[in-house]
Amino acid sequence: MRARRLLLSDRMRALQLCAVALACSAAAACGSSFGVTPDGGAGGTTGNGGAGGGVIACALDATYQYGDTGGNAPYEDTVILAPPTGYKYNRTPRRTDPADVTCAPPMPACGNGAAIDVGEVMAAILDPAVQAALSAPGNPTGMVSFGRDDRPVDGTVFRFARAGGGEFLVGSQCMPSSAVEPLPCIAAIPPGVTRLIAALRALDEQQLQDASCAALR
């Protein structure tokens, strides 16, 4: 049984690294797990943020918040990433009024090839498609920026926001052009945005394995 658990853990880790490797490939730079060593600075990035091969710094360049919102779930989970390497997972009940459940496990040191680190997260955030979405003007109607908004039928959308300005929502994938959409499709989801979400979900899965997050698993 223990051997089987270890095998499943290895497979899960392989999927996590695959998701982040895709994000790193899109940004053309990453943490040392993928062959480029972060510069370890206190913030910002070197070069042009990785688009031209610059090295990604081992620090967040801003505070970010993300998580699924909407739907008919009994609680809503939100993650806050804060400079230089802060990670906080928060669960807020929606139907009752107990206290929020929170944990803040430390992020792995940059250069740890066996874990997702801040440099790899920044590589995904600095993808040109993600940066363009963060810079786009807000949508006053509250509709999702990408994909199909399933909230009218108790679905959820993924929200990604940057402190100080910039956010976007991502719904489910649009149907092929030949199919009839059950709900309107706002816009196709850019591959870079898809890779960011995959990297962040893999990061959450990794961080929630910390003993301090046992109540949130």
**Choice among 42-46, 82-86, 172-176 with the minimum mean pLDDT:** 42-46
8-12, 75-79, 187-191: segment of lowest average pLDDT:
8-12
Question: Mean pLDDT, to the nearest integer, of 150-170?
Answer: 91
For the chain, the DSSP string reads -HHHHHHHHHHHHHHHHHHHHHHHHHHT---GGGT------SSS-STTTTTTSPPPPSS-SS-EEEEEEETT-SEEEEEEEETTTEEEEEEEESSS-PPPEEE-PPPPPTT-TTS--HHHHHHHHTSHHHHHHHHSPP-TT---SBEE--GGGT-EEEEEEETTS-EEEE-BPPPPTTSPPSS-EEEPPPHHHHHHHHHHHHHHHHHTTSGGGGGG-
Number of domains in the chain: 1
How many Cβ atoms from other residues are within 10 Å of residue 87's Cβ? Answer: 21
Tokens, residue 132:
């363009």
- Residue-level pLDDT at 138: 66
Residue-wise pLDDT for 105-120, tens only, equals 999 999 878 899 999 9
pLDDT at site 211: 97
Supply 188's token pair. 């196709």
- According to the model, what pLDDT value does residue 57 have? 81
Instruction: Output 74 or 2, whichever has higher pLDDT.
Output: 74
For the cut 60, the answer to whether the pLDDT of residue 33 exceeds it is no
pLDDT for residue 139? 67
pLDDT at 130: 97
Q: What is the pLDDT of residue 107?
A: 97
- The per-residue pLDDT of the chain, averaged, comes to 77
Q: Is the pTM of this model over 0.85?
A: no
Average pLDDT on 130-153 reads 83
The larger pLDDT score, comparing residue 174 to residue 25, is at: 174
Residue 94's domain spans which residues? 2-216
Look at residue 36 and tell me whether its pLDDT is greater than 60.
no
Q: Does the pLDDT value for residue 136 go beyond 80? A: yes
